[in-house]
Structure 1
Amino acid sequence: MLALAACARPEGVLVPVEINASSGAQAGKPVDMLVATTRAPSDAEGVLFTGERGNGLAFTNIVVSIPPNREVGSIQWPSRVPADPSREFAVTRVDPIPAKQVRSWFQQQPRAKRRVLVFVHGFNTRFDASVFRFAQFIHDTSADYMPVLFTWPSRGRVTDYIYDRESANFSRSDLTYVLSAAVRSPQVDEVVVLAHSMGAWLAMESLRQLALTDGRVPAKITNVVLASPDLDIDVFERQMQELGPKRPHLTIFVSRNDQALGISRLLAGQVTRVGAVDLTNPDYSARLEQATGIVVLDLTALQGGDALNHSKFATQPDMVRLLGDRLMAGQSISDDGAPGADTVQAMGGAVGTVIAAPLQLPIQVFAAGRN
């Protein structure tokens, strides 16, 4: 089904659409993002980058027009090229940026936006899908952040899991460079990292590299959100140790019914993935308690979103609104409250209405100790 859905999408959807009064096209709400990628460039019009590995890090300024009258968490893929901006996601600008001019992109952003959100996508994600997904998330959360997408070489095929995992490994130093560039910018006061699925391993490795090089994760990187992390739990424990005591607040979204992570666990020798831990299992709870500054949200009971229960952070409307109201407003998911009951109570007030009434189940929150 996933393969058929991908095949149904036309190629070249990133061809810029000119929006003006004479063309008759209606402009949607624009999302202006900086895209950094280690993918190989494509000669095909409207594709921009392939799923193969490039020779270096490339930067592009892309603006996506989001159509009105759409459901939160959804992407309206173009049915043909060029896209119809009145009812479909449409690209309105594509400007390659030399690496030495990246700082100017930060300088050109509105002065009120002094926070950066760096998004790292997961496995089985084409370049166009990563652009549209991030644009959808920024729009639906009303995030007052400078959006920076880091997209690594994923072929966008379920059968290329190992290739994608090695491509994430291939891109570690480049993501480290992007994070460092954001931190060094005088226009930036805060950096938040949001990583999904296999991208969580890449994000943690890059943060680890920063910590080992600089002695700590830069203080401007305040929050890290790992959504359905496809990350070996043993590796995660070692990464947390090597980030050091002065690390960012960490929020993890897990789900026991995440079907994609079930397959990943099978491919990884039956080692549990962090995004699929069972918080009712005392062994896992005890292991997580050893790491300070972590809040884990169990989204198992949350209804809606994607069919595989793997992308609820971006597709489940109530979860998207929660992120928009809390984290994207400059707060950590736990709202910097005390651990334990206070944190659970705070989160219960924020997400209690998410669960459908017949279930009568709260989202389970596990709050580890803090520094």
Structure 2
Amino acid sequence: MTAIHAGAAALPRVRFAVRFLLLAVLAGLAGCANRPPAAVLDPVPNSVAVSAGQPTKAASGARSLTLFAVTNRARDGDGFDSGRARTLTYERYRLSIPASHKPAAIEYPSTHPDPEKTMTVRERRRLDQRSMVAAIVAQPGFDGTVGLFVHGFNYRYQEGVFRLAQMAADSRSKAMPVLFSWPSEGALSGYLADRDAVLFSRDDLVSLMAALSETGKVRQILLFGHSMGGFLIMESVRQLRLTDRGDVLDKLSVVLAAPDIDADLFRRQMDVIGRLRSPLVLLVSPQDEALAASSLLSGARPRVGRLDVEDPKVRETARAYGVLVVDITSLDAPDGLGHDRYASLAAIAPQIGALGRPGAATPTDVGAFILDAAGQVVASPFTVAGRILSPR
């Protein structure tokens, strides 16, 4: 009877948490009700009309961007849905980024794409694992660094592709952008299903990291995860440690933005992972409302992405585990919830004095720091690790 009464007493809290989550996310998505369909990934040749009788022209000042995408989502025609596939699919994209592109923004193409105003897919090609790795290392200007992005909760495949394109375009990083898209439900009601999908995807992310690291031409993998994608990354890195894959771990520089991870669970994960060759970076904000809702749904347990860097316990824990905790509250949040601040990182000038000393930090330069957008700032998801961590 005690258990029944306890469960009954918890119901109001759960109901409140669900309402809070839905209201918070809906507020953040206000004005974004029309989510991009899979068709935004259809290649647009130069002969496609912007409107009837008006053929497109080469977009003046547009930039070309190549990225790769790997997914364990099930195929749905020419696209992918939230189904869970037992094999990986590999793709290469070439996109056109308009000269009018604004930092942190994603200019999705419409029914009649206009390369002058929107991001546009110019080429889409299916590959296998071997040909993808070969294509990555053969890209002009490849410097041995791969930027591997793992998206978070409530993402659809096409949204992951365009978010990666935005970050890569804004940062102008030399790291070759690669997306790992796990089978998120892509729906507000799919929170619990998404956590299961993360656990389903551990082996696949490990397989991808191993494949990239096995070629000597890939010297560094900047592994960047957002929200629930951070949970997937931590589980995968833990698995690499348990299977004695130090060869892969030594190439990793891990950055987690607003990680949706229980704080106690994170410490247990770090107990297994131990100190990495490059300190793990956490980008956090106590004002992240989406993670506040996640905390309520999880029994009011704190989430790593909302750590308070002013808390002495946080600073002590960061030093104990060799972690850099960076408060990015000062950055603009395009989602209105403070959960997508990471998208603004790419456009900021790289100044890192607030993290200790200019140049590169050593594994001993760990702890908790506050990012000052008006002064000392971090660069981008794919350059933050290379700029504030020890160079290869």
Shorter-chain TM-score: what band? Answer: 0.7 to 0.9
Output aligned runs, 1:147-158, within 5 Å.
147-158=177-188
In structure 2, stretches of 5+ residues that fail to align are 1-25, 50-54, 378-387
For residues 299 and 228 of structure 2, the distance between their equivalents in structure 1, rounded to whole angstroms, comes to 16
Alignment CA distance shift 1:167-1:156 (3 Å): same
* Rounded Cα–Cα distance in structure 1 between residues aligned with 2:240 and 2:287: 33
TM superposition shift of 1:247: 4.0
Superposition map of 1:89-128 within 5 A = 89-128=119-158
**3-state SS, counterpart of residue 253 of structure 2:** strand
Amino acid at match of 1:187: K
Alignment partner for residue 79 of structure 1, among 110, 121, 134? Answer: 110
- Give the one of 30, 51, 67 matched to 2:98: 67
Structure 1 pair 189–270 and aligned structure 2 pair: CA distance change class (3 A): same
Query: How far did residue 109 of structure 1 move?
Result: 1.2
What is residue 335 of structure 1 aligned with on the other side?
A: 360
Task: Report the TM-score when normalising by structure 1.
Answer: 0.83
Matches for 1:189-338 after TM superposition, within 5 Å: 189-214=219-244, 216=246, 218=248, 220-292=250-322, 294-314=323-343, 316=344, 319-322=345-348, 325=350, 335-336=360-361
AA in 1 matched with 2:182: W
Greater CA drift, 239-248 or 222-231: 239-248
Give the conservation status (yes or no) of the 8 Å contact 2:137–2:218. no
Q: Which residue pairs with 1:16 in the alignment?
A: 43
Shift of residue 6, structure 1, vs aligned partner: 3.7
Report if the CA contact (8 A) 2:199-2:232 is conserved.
Answer: yes
Q: Secondary structure at the match of 2:221?
A: strand
Asked if structure 1 preserves the Cα contact closer than 8 Å seen for 2:94 and 2:124, the reply is yes
Partner of residue 57, structure 2: 25
- CA-to-partner distance for each residue in 1:23-82, whole Å, 9 max, x for gaps? 533343122111110101111x5xx111221231111111222111121110112232x5
Distance apart, 1:251 and its partner CA: 1.1
Q: CA offsets per residue over residues 203-238 of structure 1, 9 Å max, x none? A: 111111111112536354241110000011111111
Q: CA deviation at 1:288?
A: 3.0
Alpha-carbon contact 2:250-2:277 (below 8 Å) kept: no
CA distance in 1, matches of 2:248, 2:37: 41
- Mapped to 2, the partners of 1:11 and 1:227 lie a distance apart of 26
Counterpart code for 2:68: L
Q: Give the aligned residue type for 2:45.
A: E
CA distance in 1, matches of 2:219, 2:241: 19
**Structure 1: how far apart are the matches of 2:291 and 2:92?**
32
Note the C-alpha offset of 1:308: 0.8
Q: Residue 375 of structure 2 aligns with which residue?
A: 352
**In 2 relative to 1, CA 333–86 (structure 1 residues): closer, same or farther, beyond 3 Å?**
farther
| Secondary structure at 1:140 match in 2 | helix
- Distance change (3 Å), C-alpha of 1:218 and 1:259: same
Tell me which amino acid in the other structure corresponds to 2:41. L
How many angstroms does 1:277 deviate by?
A: 1.2
- Pairing 1:49–2:80 present: yes
Q: 1:361 maps to what in 2? A: none
Structure 1 range deviating more: 4-13 or 183-192: 4-13
Secondary structure, in 3 states, of the residue corresponding to 1:7? coil
Which 10-residue stretch deviates more, 13-22 or 197-206? 13-22
- Label 1:215 to 1:92 Cα distance change in 2 as closer, same or farther (>3 A): closer
Instruction: Report the number of matched residues.
Output: 340
Q: Confirm or deny: 8 A CA contact 2:144 2:218 kept in the other structure.
A: yes
Structure 1: gaps (5+ residues): 355-366
Scaled by the length of structure 2, the TM-score of the pair is: 0.79
Given that residues 106 and 185 in structure 1 are in contact (C-alpha distance below 8 angstroms), is that contact kept between their aligned partners in structure 2? no
Q: Distance in 2 between matches of 1:31 and 1:273?
A: 35
Tell me the equivalent position of 1:363: none
How has the CA–CA distance of structure 1 residues 280 and 107 changed in structure 2, closer, same or farther, with 3 Å as cutoff?
closer
Q: Distance in 2 between matches of 1:156 and 1:335?
A: 38
AA partner of residue 352 (structure 1) = G
Deviations 1:109-150 (A, max 9, x none): 125431111000000111111000000000100010111110
SS in 2 for 1:13: helix
Between the aligned partners of 1:201 and 1:12, the Cα distance in structure 2 is: 29
Q: Given that residues 291 and 305 in structure 2 are in contact (C-alpha distance below 8 angstroms), is that contact kept between their aligned partners in structure 1?
A: yes
- Identity %, equivalent residues: 33
Deviation at 1:268, TM superposition (A): 1.4
Q: Which amino acid aligns with 1:59?
A: Y
Larger Rg: 2
The 5 A counterparts of 1:358-369 are none
**What is the identity, as a one-letter code, of the residue corresponding to 1:261?**
L
**1:340 Cα shift?**
7.3
- Aligned AA (1:26): A
Letter in 2 for 1:228: A
